[in-house]
Amino acid sequence: MALAASSLTIVAFVLLFQWSQPRIEVFVLSVLGILWLAVASFSVDLIGHIECFPLGNQQTASNKGTTSARAYCYEMKVVEGFSWAISILFSMFSVLVVALTSRSVAMGNRYAWSDPIIDLPWFGEIPGYYQAPHYGYGGQQMYLPPPGAIQQQPGHSVVIQPGHHGQPTTVQQIPTM
């Protein structure tokens, strides 16, 4: 079963190089994650919770006679561990592709599910076309204040008082103590 899962994984990745769209990637990664989960469950079912080191020099039946029970146990533990790890990684990658594609759709790229996967923006990037330059916002423009404007000095307070009996408004800067 592990040989079939690993062979199918290699064939799937070779085919994904040709058709790399998020909708295909999510489907293939999810199927491969479920397949590797089945391999992990199968290996747990075969070996169970057996401790390998007390088996010693015991022999177990195999296709070509007998083999060391300890070696077989260790090999199945390795298959179990790698199968769990690969299943978790494929599940995380499919969730990552869904998150990035959904974010791209939310930011205005309505064809994100059918675009090539290389066009999918990573975290911190804005969606755009492949190899298109992305420019940030321009800096703040420097300008002169309008005439008659008061610039507040550091450590000063600006006091604005209305004029009395038709007099103009007075603006003063008073140093704070």
The amino acid at 51? E
pTM: 0.63
Per-residue pLDDT for 169 more than 70? yes
CA distance from start to end of the chain: 82
How high is the pLDDT of residue 61? 80
CA nearest to 113, candidates 127, 124, 92, 125? 127
Q: In angstroms, what CA-CA distances link 87 with 26, 27, 38, 150?
A: 14, 14, 9, 66
pLDDT digits (tens, 9 = 90+) for 129-147: 555 555 666 677 777 767 7
CB 129 within 8 A of CB 109: no
